Structure 1
């Protein structure tokens, strides 16, 4: 076991105290009259012990206080040294500053009791004001350094607590920043996927048809659809780039898709799905007077857009039905049903990020989303793929984005 080394300042204090005490002794400066029982050099022994205990004042403060007390008592039987008394006050101070919290609270109390008890006893013994003076001196070398140490310790603890709070605040701020960056990246990923996936899927489907069918007319129609989706995709990409470049001081936010654009989306989907035998219909049962918050409209539009894209990739030939319903005070319900069957593979490759993005959008609005095969309606396909989202609508919904 390695014993802790004394602090450099404590070594300087111990050496300085001892040399200062020897200097005063050599000059004959004592605190008491000469004692016949002990020679003058005897005062150097308590001085040496008192100086030595300063070496461990930070490491063993309470033990050193006990040693310092014994040295001070021994000093009273010699000619006395002022340095011994001064170093004792430092021992009391160190016992409060460097000991445990419990001991730090007890030392001032004990010092106060000793001061009061000594003053009363001396007044009773001497029955003169000199007893009160001696009691004041005892208070100066015991109670005063203890109170000073308590004040210094409280200030240090308050500074440590403030530093800890500052570090915790900085850590929380960094966590908030990371979460904000992650959330923004997720939002950008959803927007990019929803805007581009629909057009690129149509391009992939029609380019496959143009390559597999040796029919000039079919090829010409496919190239027309490819060009139309390419232009639309570029337009959406420019909108997203403009949104990312938009200055925070710009008071005109970039326009976001709304449910009013579903007719154009469905018409485009009909054109893209014609070669695969897919038709699309929109059944909008919303009350015309009901306006929806922008985050809800954007989420609903993107859910329909992604569902239509998935239908173009995976659905069997047939009709894809989009249903919207909303009554004032109730949630907006979006439902997309597409024919479900066992195709050998998708018409265009996918990453599976579409469903993840839809779930994230719905979760941000604290809604519900279900997606999977269900039994088809009578007279229709045996099974359909149903995507159903329930988006809560509040009159005070002002969430900025999803």
Structure 2
């Protein structure tokens, strides 16, 4: 489901929708039995009052009283079908009540049940029919103690009361279902947001780990390879290479500890944290690469590197770090040129360029994720980054980042 389609379910949208209790269940619950028995007893009580009033009239034949009693009992018993066929039952009782006032109580229960379990259209049709035929019953069988107008008005009010009460109950059920659906969707949306945030955090940590550790680990690989292929090297060179390996491993562990520290809770200790690299510390990165045996030419034309924004300087540092790492992996022995230009209001540019390798070498495997991460990092910083091979078979990495005016 797309975010555009992910809308709240409003009660008005559910006006014609089927509610959980609209379909008759194969097995009644305890609540269903209690409601059905109460409805039956109410209809039976109203029917008995009507039979008593008819029997009290001395002009009414005993046969009519008997037929009315049987019809009223049948109407009350038919209420057990109101969950399965509410429309048909209400329509049938509407027709019966034209000649049988004893079934009026059962009709009220049937109309109430119809309004609760069915949408507006069938309720309106059956309800209109009940309102139309309401004046017919007192006309065919008038009550000696009540006028035709009073009987008609009372009948119309009872029909409207049953229908409106049932529709109010249905509206409340729609509201409850809507609120439950909203809560369910809100929980689902919260889970999606949490998963998205976790995914973004994992991606950010993965990019940071690649940017930081790839540089250190390639140093380890280069010097370990030199020791492997030159076992007869002078002791001084072996000691120097071992020292670089030791220092690179130590720095890698420090960087890893710094990145993992992002995952710590607010109350965790911050021991081992180090300042983030900036443009001012770019020289340390170059010196470290030269110590590892790389030939690096630096042209830093930024007058005050320390004044560069921290986030922009850190991005430039990571781009230079990735460029040196790639040059060390894919063009060992080649001279690498690092050019940094810009200033406040003019933006900050960096270019890392290396020619084609001049001697055979063992390729270090790479996934290409570093350049993808750098592109995303530069885009998030408001700049742009491009990379690709040069005419002579080398490789160039260029980036342009914003530097607001002072």
TM over 0.5: yes
Alignment partners' CA distance in 2, 1:10 and 1:246: 52
Shift of 1:181: 1.1
Q: Equivalent of 1:388, from 394, 398, 405?
A: 398
Contact kept in structure 1, 2:46 and 2:105, CA below 8 Å:
no
Distance 1:336-1:248 versus aligned 2 partners, 3 A rule: farther
Alignment length (residue pairs)? 371
Alignment partner, residue 91 of structure 2: 66
Q: Does 1:157 align with 2:174?
A: yes
Q: For structure 1, list consecutive stretches of 5 or more residues without a partner in the other structure.
A: 376-381, 396-402
TM-score by length of 2: 0.76
Alignment partner, residue 268 of structure 1: 288
Structure 1 window deviating more from structure 2 (317-326 vs 301-310): it is 317-326
Shift of 1:206: 0.8
Q: Secondary structure at the match of 2:52?
A: coil
Q: Secondary structure at the match of 1:256?
A: coil
Task: Provide, for residues 185-240 of structure 1, a one-character-per-residue CA deviation record: whole Å limited to 9, x for no partner.
Answer: 12222222222221121111011112212211332221222122123223323333
Q: Does 1:368 align with 2:388?
A: no
Aligned Cα RMSD in Å? 3.9
Q: Does 1:40 align with 2:62?
A: no
Distance 1:13-1:151 versus aligned 2 partners, 3 A rule: closer
Structure 1 window deviating more from structure 2 (17-26 vs 232-241): it is 17-26
Q: Secondary structure at the match of 2:99?
A: helix
Contact kept in structure 2, 1:326 and 1:332, CA below 8 Å:
yes
Alignment partner, residue 335 of structure 1: 351
Alignment partner, residue 98 of structure 1: 117
Q: How does 1:3-402 map to 2 (within 5 A)?
A: 5=26, 7-8=28-29, 30-33=52-55, 35-36=60-61, 38-76=63-101, 80=102, 84-104=103-123, 110=128, 114=132, 118=135, 130-213=147-230, 214-216=232-234, 217-245=236-264, 247=266, 255-272=275-292, 274=293, 278-286=294-302, 288=304, 291-329=307-345, 331-341=347-357, 346=362, 348-365=364-381, 367-375=383-391, 382-392=392-402
Q: For structure 2, list consecutive stretches of 5 or more residues without a partner in the other structure.
A: 1-23
TM-score by length of 1: 0.77
Contact kept in structure 2, 1:47 and 1:71, CA below 8 Å:
no
Structure 1 window deviating more from structure 2 (15-24 vs 238-247): it is 15-24
Q: Secondary structure at the match of 1:323?
A: strand
Task: Provide, for residues 111-135 of structure 1, a one-character-per-residue CA deviation record: whole Å limited to 9, x for no partner.
Answer: 89659x959x98xx99x99445324
Shift of 1:106: 6.0
Q: Secondary structure at the match of 2:390?
A: strand
Alignment partners' CA distance in 1, 2:95 and 2:175: 34
Alignment partners' CA distance in 1, 2:200 and 2:361: 33
Contact kept in structure 1, 2:97 and 2:104, CA below 8 Å:
yes
Task: Provide, for residues 150-184 of structure 1, a one-character-per-residue CA deviation record: whole Å limited to 9, x for no partner.
Answer: 22222221222222111111111111111111111
Q: Secondary structure at the match of 2:98?
A: helix
Contact kept in structure 1, 2:47 and 2:104, CA below 8 Å:
no
